[in-house]
Chains A and B, each alone.
Chain A
Amino acid sequence: MEGELLTVIIVVATALAFDFTNGFHDTANVVATSISTRAMAPRIAVGYAAVLNFAGAFISLEVAATVASDVVDPGSITLLVVFGGLVGAIAWNLITWYFGLPSSSSHALIGGIVGAMLVAQGPDSIFFGEGIVGKVMIPALVAPTLAFLVGGISILVLYRIVGRLRPGPVTGGFRGGQIVSGGLLALAHGTNDAQKTMGVIALALVAYGSLPAGDPTPPFWVIFSAALAIALGTYAGGWRIIKTMGSRIHKMDSAQGFAAQGAGAAVILASSHGGFPLSTTHTISGAVIGSGAAKRLSAVRWGVAGNIVTAWVLTLPAAAGIGALTYGVTRIFGTGAGGPVIVSVLILAGSAFLFTKRAQQSVSGPAASEA
């Protein structure tokens, strides 16, 4: 039982570490639009988003219920499966962060858990139909498309309303509006993404025996710690991805930024209420591209948008593969805490290596250019 306690502590800590990387990796998408249109200074935008991510985590539990009950069979989950899934998701997040690619932390998490579960318990333990297809894959296609359309329609309506006004007050007005729309987007992000971690911790607590498989509602300490982890991750920032999302897709004006943030927030909040664990990155990207394409198709850098689509397609199978591999490696050391301890040390060392290498490139890049 002591070994199991140590394992569950490692799994919960890993889940919170994932939540931190989720904030670090994803919330750049939330603040990029406000920064790109100069509605907010970068540091203020990041701090503001962190606070609203924290608040958003307390709004709803529908997505947590889906992750804990509808994706894999909570009755046959084990701590090592949850651990393998989490490591798969973290590794994929780090790889996409290192290469500056927007990915989906949500799909990475679900992919990792499914991959580990598939190897551990076989296909019967995975709810492919109503769970994976009905609650993850179909919404994964619908949400960015919907955000694209809502963002596009919104900007066309806005230009119709304010198109003949003096540009000064319009730009100033929409920059002010982006404080609200950016806040809503951060709230929406916290609502949908923090709940996925809560769902995974609930699965770990089911495996440990402290939550019933029939009703794995996360207790308050899980909600609070998941909210805090994603908020801290947000504050730590993800500056490289801010650059990709904010200006490399297309240059936007403040009205487009407002429309994109409003569309993204509306789709994510509505989906959270429906219990769909969406990719917030995909949804925000869809809204940003929609608001740009509605104005002028050539304004969108479709090559960058194409790179993002490639990352979307790769996320589920890649995270599933790493999750399955991690489970296999962990299982070599038995069912106790030994495997998770060794794999945790390896993942920490790998993370430190990537962060150091990235930091060295950031320092040497501008100097090399000047030379």
Chain B
Amino acid sequence: MSFASIVDWDALLTVVWASVAAGVGVTAAYGLVILGATRAVDLGRAGRSGEALLFGVVGALAIVAVFAAIVFGIVVLSE
């Protein structure tokens, strides 16, 4: 029995790509939440309401993406 055949490479590669996608993706999306919220507040105080709105939307979309990814992951796991 060869070394290559005793490892379930498909399952292992799935673990690798899913971990990178979920770990880096969710973390980056949460970074965008903080960026959007902080910049929206700062720009709003400076009277630049258009740009503040734009950053607010980015932050809101990012937080939806974070929670959607978490729910999707748990649903996939429990199937």
Contact = CB atoms under 8 A, between A and B. Distances in A.
Asked if A and B are interacting partners, one says: yes
Contacts of A266: 18-20, 22-23, 26
B74 A150 contact: no
Given A150-B20, A272-B77, 4 more contacts: A143-B15, A262-B30, A263-B23, A270-B22
A169 B41 CA distance: 10
Contacts of A273: 14-15, 18, 76-77
A184 B66 CA distance: 12
Interface in B3-62: 3, 6-8, 11-12, 14-16, 18-20, 22-24, 26-28, 30-35, 37-39, 41-42
A276 B19 CA distance: 14
Contacts of B19: 146-147, 150, 263, 266-267, 270-271
Interface stretch (A17-25, A117-125, A158-166, A327-335): A158-166
Nearest to A131: B6
Contact of B24 (A135, A154, A271, A272): A154
Interface in A141-174: 142-143, 146-147, 149-151, 153-154, 157-158, 161-162, 165-166, 169-170, 173-174
A112 interface: no
Contacts of B73: 269
B15 to A, nearest CB: 5
Nearest to A60: B77
A59 B78 contact: yes
Interface residues of A, number: 48
B32 A134 contact: no
Those 6 A-B pairs whose CB atoms lie nearest each other, nearest first: A266-B23, A161-B31, A150-B23, A173-B34, A154-B27, A266-B22
Contact of A142 (B16, B66, B77): B16
Contact of B15 (A59, A180, A184, A274): A274
A177 interface: yes
B27 A157 contact: yes
Given A150-B20, A165-B35, A267 B15 contact: yes
Contacts of A262: 23, 26-27, 30
30 contacts: A59-B74, A129-B1, A130-B8, A133-B6, A134-B6, A134-B8, A142-B12, A142-B15, A146-B16, A149-B20, A150-B24, A153-B23, A154-B28, A157-B24, A157-B28, A158-B28, A161-B35, A170-B34, A174-B34, A258-B30, A262-B27, A262-B30, A263-B23, A266-B23, A266-B26, A269-B22, A271-B19, A272-B77, A274-B11, A276-B15
Contacts of B76: 273
Contacts of B32: 161
Interface residues of B, number: 37
Contacts of B34: 161-162, 165, 169-170, 173-174, 177
B78 A271 contact: no
A237 B78 CA distance: 28
Contacts of A259: 27
A138 interface: yes
B7 A154 contact: no
A191 interface: yes
Contacts of A150: 19-20, 23-24
Contacts of B66: 180
A169 B37 contact: yes
Interface string A246-263: 000000000000110011
